[in-house]
Chains A and B, each alone.
Chain A
Amino acid sequence: DAGITQSPRHKVTETGTPVTLRCHQTENHRYMYWYRQDPGHGLRLIHYSYGVKDTDKGEVSDGYSVSRSKTEDFLLTLESATSSQTSVYFCATGTANQPQHFGDGTRLSIL
């Protein structure tokens, strides 16, 4: 989607290493979200942010942390990656009473 950039788009790493995924938006949206998408589970919310330095946990937050120091950037960190965190990660942004819009995802493989 125009206005949402996720980086990297693909990453392969080893168990136990730290990993940071970045979501950058140019829409000046207040809300930002991180989801993971796995076969048989659909999209599940990891963490979300409702403003700079304001974040909260989602459904599957264990093993993940987030930070938002600027409106446009939302970082997702896996402090010590595990194979169960192999997934496709999507960032979304939105405003109150408007639908969320998604980036094109980061495919993360943890060996």
Chain B
Amino acid sequence: EDQVTQSPEALRLQEGESSSLNCSYTVSGLRGLFWYRQDPGKGPEFLFTLYSAGEEKEKERLKATLTKKESFLHITAPKPEDSATYLCAVQAKGGSEKLVFGKGTKLTVNP
């Protein structure tokens, strides 16, 4: 069974204090790993897709990396507007487009 575990459940940072969120996964052949951002009362918003170990993608203060067992979302010099819940999901090989999500990490960035 495909599984995704995110840690920590919650993270509180000061503005400018860099950190990383972890997404550990087990999947029967990884087709893609996805990062989403979710603001309160909103649906998840797509950030990145990673397909193979060693791949990295960046967007503003965010950088996502992938190994064979886990992915990290690095946040450099965060701002209060980066506060959100960050979700990780995996898609397995085999023709299905289904995603399996982790429970998310709630990030709070204080000014």
Task: List the interface of chain A (C-beta within 8 A of B).
Answer: 1, 4, 31, 33, 40-45, 48, 50, 58, 90, 92, 94, 96, 99-105
Contacts and interface: CB of A to CB of B under 8 A. Distances in A.
B1 to A, nearest CB: 10
Contacts of A96: 97
A9 B26 CA distance: 34
Interface in B44-79: 44-46, 49
A-B pairs with the 7 shortest C-beta distances?
A102-B43, A42-B103, A43-B101, A99-B46, A42-B101, A104-B43, A102-B44
Interface of B: 34, 36, 41-46, 49, 87, 89, 97-104
Contacts of A92: 43
Given A40-B103, A99-B49, A50 B97 contact: yes
A34 to B, nearest CB: 12
A102 B104 CA distance: 16
A44 B3 CA distance: 12
Contact of B43 (A44, A48, A90, A99): A90
A101 B46 contact: yes
A100 B101 CA distance: 12
A99 B90 CA distance: 11
